Amino acid sequence: MNVMILGAGGGIGRALLEAYSSAPDIARIYATHHCEVSSVSPLIRWLHLDMSDPRSIAALADQVDQPIHRWISCTGILAGDHGQPEKTLRQLSSGKLQIDYQVNALGPLTAFSSLANHLRSEDMRAVFLSAQVGSIEDNRLGGWYGYRMSKAALNMGVRCLAIECARWRSAPVIVAVHPGTTVTNLSRAFTQTRKAPVQSAATCARQLKLLVETLDSGQSGQFLTLNGQTLPW
């Protein structure tokens, strides 16, 4: 089985990479990195990917030479050089919103599109890490405009993908997943004062791998928690 993990240098992505690297039936892992990374297994082929650069996304297909059976997109941004999550509409900036959209929504979807010919294998499963705060129905607090809007856009893209790809000869299972609050660079600054429990990246990755390996065709096109429950869009 060949696996592709996008964002394999991040908190959840790296832990998932380690979980798949020690699985018995893995032939090849394509792992994308953005910043520099160190390898964990000879099975891994590292590919550089910048989700903010459409040329970098288009170049992915030239670097993949095997069919992919598991696609797990773990890339994403919340805060950084491009800005902080917005607390009020006075903080809205179209520049920041565009970067949020590019990295969180357009990047993962166009990367999937660029590799579509490699994603037609039997029993293909694709997971896009989204976030519950991207649920429109579940939004009662407001704020975090860029992150929420870009994850809602990703969710719509995942739903469209699942509907379209169900017409392929070997229909893949395609879902959006909220990984749960997990201690990583993305969340650290926002979880320190949180009273509810947070999980480690290793715990998240173990459950995520279990979810991926037990997904069934009836779940395609859904927005799921790590334990497979459906979330409202």
The contact set with ligand NAP (CB under 6 A) reads 7, 9-13, 33-35, 49-52, 74-77, 103, 129, 131, 178-179, 181-182, 184-187
The least CB distance from residue 194 to ligand NAP, in Å, is 10
The least CB distance from residue 154 to ligand NAP, in Å, is 8
Closer by beta carbon to ligand NAP, 74 or else 124: 74
Strands 125-129 and 70-73: parallel
- By beta carbon distance, the residue nearest ligand NAP is 10
d(C-alpha 15, C-alpha 21), whole Å? 10
The least CB distance from residue 226 to ligand NAP, in Å, is 10
Closer by beta carbon to ligand NAP, 91 or else 181: 181
Closer by beta carbon to ligand NAP, 10 or else 157: 10
Closer by beta carbon to ligand NAP, 76 or else 85: 76
The least CB distance from residue 89 to ligand NAP, in Å, is 22
Closer by beta carbon to ligand NAP, 73 or else 220: 73
Closer by beta carbon to ligand NAP, 2 or else 182: 182
Q: How far is CA 14 from the centre of its chain?
A: 12
The least CB distance from residue 121 to ligand NAP, in Å, is 24
The least CB distance from residue 169 to ligand NAP, in Å, is 30
